[in-house]
Structure 1
């Protein structure tokens, strides 16, 4: 029944479910693309114009035009609290390999860990063939802070983000380079570690992250991530190999209920964010825009908010006290935005957890 419901809503005219928002680049139309999803987490486009969507309870959907279908062969996932089937990433060479990467929470010794793996999408799109889990973090009890975004780097390696698993300001796991939690991990396409450093777990690229729920490349190929702070102090960072991004030693936020975290906002040897939010917006999803449909926004950074119901834009060319100048778009459709991505035609698509829907933002006609 769910696939039929998706089919019906996918073929509705855009104007049947649309609203307008005023923006710095003029009026934009928000139109519904798909509805009836169950807590969607991520979206990835295929070269033929179809797209894949993950639902946190463990379902992967393939949507092509007016047809949608579940894809079998997805790994078992641990769905406790914030865990489940999380990101989906389609590599640049998909047309040749039909490879699809997934990140998810997996049951392992000690509790659950953030995992990543890949399989081959069958020619008819019904199955993820030969899926293999290639990397998994240490197991931790509880179901918080899995991070879990995937990015293909310019050299073809795969970046996986992880969270600190909610160990709190007193837990120093994100600072321990021998552990994979609270890190950016870099993998080769076969799952082997792409970087190594004495005393660090193989594959660990950067340390000191809290809960990275957005990751992308900018137009120059630089990796960008954003991560949740505690009570305030969400950060946009530009990870580099061997760098320490501070959590929980430094932060622009404070403990829940008040009180300083660690040593304050700065320490020698620890990186500063390129932008931060205080109070917290709980950012999720991250995209740098190409400028295809809206040239004024070329190179700008788009993200969603999970607690303040907006789609946001940062302008790296305009400095502000917290880093970059910011614009926020709010409408009935922007409730709890989990992911944001640029479509092949240059429109901006985003996932709303509240509506279980996918929306398209583009210049108003």
Structure 2
């Protein structure tokens, strides 16, 4: 099966044209029958864990078979709207410790937030589970939790959070966690060098503020830079390079407008706020991100891949010397909302489709003739 992407430059703030080489690929269905899968993690020795937003953690065997019974011991999850079970991530020492991290919506409709737990995977169940972090304050509603996380080389992790939708002004308030990126030690404690740790009026966990709803996080080890993307309202989805302690402007600065069509703010940039590397206007609803470093597709090495819900595609962000020079829309033939994109240990790209009958897809080179 041969598919061609197309270049997208017009509404993203990119001014440099780039020609993408057409790459042949084949899309396989690895597993199906998942209810709104949200995240996946590759287990040592093949197989993977997949979260379902409905609050279940599932095991896919090395041969692609979906284990019928969910993993036991998952925390109680608040489910509804955008709320549910989010990220599953293996601890850096998982092969020895068996530890996994789970982010999820916790609480009730009247009072809920984003939580982060750690537990040990013991066969078909989680044991020794503990809550490492609970974002404050609790809020009403069922929207904008963030939930993505990644590990940094210094034995810390970062967790992206949302603004709670109806609480967007609080993204500028360092006294809470709404609309922020937080950085934690692997045991949930606060790193001594966090940028707000000595500010008595700020939460010590904060790493950056002024975000709307963080949905993708990648650490580029080659360039030692942390990249995130976040949802805008109608337009103004952003890709940002994170500077510790920086303010990314929401809702005082945005390229998007409100869902009513009203302006959120007249400003797309202001002194003191970091501008995005690029923005998507109109919105694509970015949902996951990976830095491709596999061997299966050498033409893609070093590029970022951003899955999208509304756009029903994956954007390949073409990079030269770490700078984004163009975009290519891929997998549009699927016609599916794509919740996540990952680089597998086999060099394939893995996609999660956001559906009540969701699938895990594997993108591989075409079969030899």
The TM-score with structure 2 as length reference comes to: 0.88
Match of 1:235 in 2: 238
Matched residues in 2 for 1:296 and 1:318: separation? 15
CA shift at 1:77, angstroms?
0.6
Whole-Å Cα distance in 2 between the matches of residues 180 and 261 of structure 1? 21
Distance in 1 (alpha carbons) for counterparts of 2:155 and 2:185? 8
Match of 1:273 among 272, 276, 281: 276
Distance 1:116 1:215 in 2: 16
The 1:259/1:331 distance shift into structure 2, 3 A limit, reads closer
1:101-145 residue CA offsets vs partner (Å, 9 max, x unmatched): 0000000696110111100000xx201111111111121100000
1:90 aligns with 2:90: yes
* Structure 2 residue 51 is the aligned partner of structure 1 residue 46: no
Q: How does 1:303-322 map to 2 (within 5 A)?
A: 303-317=306-320
Aligned to 1:64: 61
Which SS does the other structure have where 2:177 is aligned?
Answer: coil
Aligned twin of 1:6: none
Kindly indicate whether the alpha-carbon contact (under 8 Å) linking 1:291 and 1:299 is maintained by their aligned counterparts in 2.
no
> Which has the bigger relative contact order, CA under 8 A and spacing at least 6?
2
From 188, 191, 197, give the equivalent of 1:191. Answer: 188
The residue aligned with 2:158 is: 159
- Gaps of at least 5 residues in structure 2 are 6-20
Q: Secondary structure at the match of 1:340?
A: strand
Q: Partner residue of 1:178?
A: 175
> What SS class does the counterpart of residue 70 from structure 1 fall into?
coil
Which residue in 1 is equivalent to 2:8?
none
CA RMSD of aligned residues (A): 1.8
- Output aligned runs, 1:22-37, within 5 Å: 22-23=4-5, 24-37=21-34
Query: Which sits farther off after the overlay, 306-315 or 260-269?
Result: 260-269
- Equivalent residue, structure 1, for 2:128: 130
Counterpart-to-counterpart distance in 2, 1:297 and 1:319: 13
Q: Residue 74 of structure 1 corresponds to which residue in structure 2?
A: 74
Is this contact kept in 1: 2:109–2:141, CA < 8 A? no
Deviation of 1:334 after TM superposition, in Å, equals 4.9
- Report the equivalent of 2:330: 329
Change (3 A) 1:315 1:176: same
Q: Which runs of 5+ in 1 are unaligned?
A: 1-18
Q: Which residue of 1 aligns with 2:259?
A: 256
Q: How many residues align?
A: 341
User: Offset of 1:202 from its aligned partner?
Assistant: 1.4
The aligned residue for residue 250 of structure 2 is 247
Contact 2:71–2:126 under 8 Å retained in 1: yes
Distance 2:108 2:182 in 1: 18
Cα distance change on mapping 1:134 and 1:319 into 2, 3 Å: closer
In the other structure, the counterpart of 2:204 is 202
| Per-residue deviation, 1:22 | 2.5
User: Aligned to 2:363, which of 356, 361, 364?
Assistant: 361
Distance 1:212 1:174, change over 3 A: same
Corresponding position of 1:294 = 297
Residue of structure 2 in register with 1:341 after alignment = 342
How many angstroms apart in 1 are the aligned matches of 2:108 and 2:80?
13
Following TM superposition, by how much is the alpha carbon of 1:276 offset from its aligned partner in structure 2, in angstroms? 0.8
- SS class of match (2:117): strand
Structure 1 residue aligned with 2:3: 21
Q: Which moved more, 1:24-33 or 1:281-290?
A: 24-33
Residues 225-267 of structure 1, C-alpha deviations (whole Å, 9 max, x = no match): 1100011000001112100000000001112232332241111
What secondary structure sits across from 2:158 in the alignment?
A: strand
* TM-superposition CA deviations, 1:188-233 (whole Å, max 9, x none): 1111122224132011000000001111112424211110001100
Q: Is the 8 A contact 1:248 1:261 kept in 2?
A: yes
8 A Cα contact 1:318 1:325, kept in partner: no
